[in-house]
Amino acid sequence: MYVEDDYWRHFDLHFACLSIEFFSFGTTRYHYGLWYYLVPVVKVGMMAKASMSKHRQQSGEQSVVRDRILEAAFAAFMKSGYSTTSTLEIATRARVSKRELYALVGNKQEILIACISQRAKRLEVPAGVHKLRYRDTLAQVLTSFGAKLVREISNPTVIAVFRLAIAESVQAPELAGTLNSIGREASRAALRKIIADAQASGLLTGRPSELAEQFAGLLWRDLMVSLLLGVAVRPRPREIAERARNATTAFLQLHPLPKERAPIDVKEAINSK
């Protein structure tokens, strides 16, 4: 049997002869056969695999379009300001319909949240990556995170968002609120987590939130204000690394190892006996 329709290629057509019987009546011999078609059997595995592949392809295409929408939104916010930018302008820049824009991202504030959240994820500290058991390890983690923090936030794109939030603080206060609650909180939460892990191992004492603010102050000093005012340029990688090392050294000097975890001076212990 030749079947042209692609739909039927997903089926197996089975034929079977149920039985053939012979019998005689007088001098005449008769026979009969009963043939039938089995119900077509669907190749479930093949169809399921094709469906999953199609779903992955659609998800990938939607992700590309979503990224294009976020890039278009940011460009529009930078050019026209957040309060005056419309979803139609964003959709036009992204070459999508307003219906597709709302389906993939949402309204203007949801687009803003997505833009900020996308970059804020870079500052998250993966769970279980570092086991803080020694001060040397803590120093390495703080230095690495500090360098990453300065590198990400001093990016001209991020500085532009901060400037936009300041400029729109009256017309669109939700912009500054979103930047603070999502963008800045991501870095603060990551730093508090590092401090809390160090406390759990007996390497530091004090309130994690206060210690995190102190480290951030030592790290940034007046750099952020200078960048916002445009009177300083983004530091080079070597300068960022040195800034992070200096901040870590100063922070650990302010918070020495608790006495119960301090190494024992053998000579002093002998003389005290």
Taking every pair of Cα atoms in the chain, the longest distance, rounded to a whole number of angstroms, is: 128
pLDDT single digits (tens) 205-231: 999 999 999 999 999 999 999 999 999
Share of the chain above pLDDT 90, in %: 48
Q: What is the CATH number of the domain that holds 161?
A: 1.10.357.10
Q: Is residue 20 part of a domain?
A: no
Task: Kindly state whether residues 89 and 142 are assigned to the same domain.
Answer: no
**Between the ranges 124-128, 138-142, 264-268, where is the mean pLDDT highest?**
138-142
Q: Does residue 128 share a domain with residue 253?
A: yes
10 pLDDT exceeds 80? no
Q: What is the pLDDT of residue 32?
A: 45
Tokens linked to 180: 């603070």
Q: Are residues 157 and 105 in the same domain?
A: no
Domain finish residue from 70, 99, 117: 117
| DSSP single-letter state for residue 183 | I
pLDDT at 51: 57
- CATH code, 69: 1.10.10.60
Would you state the pLDDT for residue 37?
44
Domain assignment present for 173? yes
Confirm whether 75 is domain-assigned. yes
Per-residue model confidence (pLDDT) at position 13 = 42
- pLDDT confidence tier of residue 183, bands split at 50, 70 and 90: confident
Q: What is the pLDDT of residues 40-72, one digit of tens each?
A: 544 555 555 555 555 556 677 888 999 999 999
Count of domains for the chain:
2
Poorest-pLDDT segment among 84-93, 145-154, 181-190: 181-190
67 and 157 share one domain: no
pLDDT on residue 267: 44
Residue 264 domain flag: no
Q: Is the dihedral of CA 220, 225, 226, 227 positive or negative?
A: positive
**Cα–Cα dist 247/249, whole Å:** 6
Tell me which of 268 and 263 has the higher pLDDT: 263
Q: Does pLDDT of 17 surpass 70?
A: no
Quick check: pTM over 0.75? Answer: no
Residue 252 shares a structural domain with residue 141: yes
Confidence (pLDDT) at 126: 55
Token digits of residue 190: 């990551």
pLDDT in tens, 86-128: 999 999 999 999 999 999 999 998 998 888 887 777 666 555 5
Q: Which domain holds residue 237?
A: 120-259
> Looking at residue 131, what is its pLDDT?
74
Is 113 found in the same domain as 126? no
pLDDT tier at 18 (50, 70, 90 boundaries)? very low
Structure tokens at 159: 């500085």
The verdict on 169 and 208 lying in the same domain is yes
Unique residue bearing structure tokens 């219906």: 99
Which helix (H) or strand (E) covers residue 35, if one does?
A: strand 28-37
High-pLDDT (> 70) share of the chain, %? 70
Q: Angle at CA 208, nearest 5°, toward 207 and 213?
A: 105
User: Do 73 and 115 form a contact (C-beta atoms < 8 A)?
Assistant: yes
129 and 247 housed in the same domain: yes
Q: Is 135 exposed, middle or buried (0-12, 13-18, 19+ CB in 10 A)?
A: middle
Span 232-237, average pLDDT: 96
Q: Report d(CA 254, CA 142) in Å as an integer.
A: 14
| pLDDT score recorded for residue 31 | 46
Q: How high is the pLDDT of residue 224?
A: 96
Q: For residue 61, which of 111, 86, 102, 96 has the smallest C-alpha distance?
A: 96
pLDDT at 127: 52
The amino acid occupying position 45 is: G
Residue of higher predicted confidence among 133 and 239 = 239
- Alpha-carbon gap, residue 184 to 104, rounded angstroms: 25
Q: Determine the pLDDT at residue 12.
A: 45
- The winner for highest mean pLDDT among 121-130, 145-154, 165-174 is 145-154
